[in-house]
Amino acid sequence: MGLNARLLVLLLPLALGACTLMPPEHQPTEPAPEPEPAEAPEPDAPEPEVDEPPEEAAEPEPEREPAIPDAVIELVADAREASQNGNYDQAAAYLERAVRISPDLAPLWQNLAVVRFQQGDYGQAEQMARRSIRLADGDRALQRRNWQLIEASRAEQGDEEGAHEARRQAEGI
């Protein structure tokens, strides 16, 4: 199995997995524990005095990643199914719709890059992977997968020097 086939085997399951797009609010959470009931005061007992706690400054909520629209999640799932069935044109169409909805999601561009690679459109695969790299600020694993895809795309085009440079970029992340 050649380098490109090995890279594709590694990249495809990672790239087209909808789990890469699941925002934190879609992850299952454990229910909050039930508060213990307070003891009921005796009927003749005086009301206990309650010290009011000092008002605390409201803490700002931590910034959350923007929610991923359900339509995008569904389109990625449809693209994954189409790709698994070898229908790369349909997979690309689903992903193109998804990037029109959420153009700033780096995994969408990486998924589209993988499909373009599968279609043999290596120039487009590299362009989509580069866009994903720009959007994947801080996601080193995604940036690495993109550089690996660029390496494979360049190798398929006979650009061994460019492929070597892309491999060095991937290894440097």
Q: Identify the H or E element spanning 132.
A: helix 122-135
**pLDDT, tens only, 78-110:** 999 999 999 999 999 999 999 999 999 999 999
Q: Which tops the pLDDT comparison, 111 or 39?
A: 111
Nearest to 113 by CA among 87, 134, 138, 95: 95
* CATH numbers and ranges of domains, the chain: 1-16+66-173 (1.25.40.10)
User: Token pair of 163, please?
Assistant: 């492929």
Q: Which of 13-17, 117-121, 142-146, 162-166 has the lowest mean pLDDT?
A: 13-17
pLDDT band of residue 173 (cuts 50, 70, 90) is confident
Q: In whole angstroms, what is the distance from residue 78 CA to residue 70 CA?
A: 12
Q: Say if residues 91 and 82 touch (Cβ distance below 8 Å).
A: yes
Q: What one-character DSSP code corresponds to residue 45? A: S
**Per-residue pLDDT, 67:** 82
Distance between first and last Cα of the chain: 25
Answer whether residue 113 shows pLDDT above 70: yes
Query: Could you tell me the two tokens for 45?
Result: 């007992």
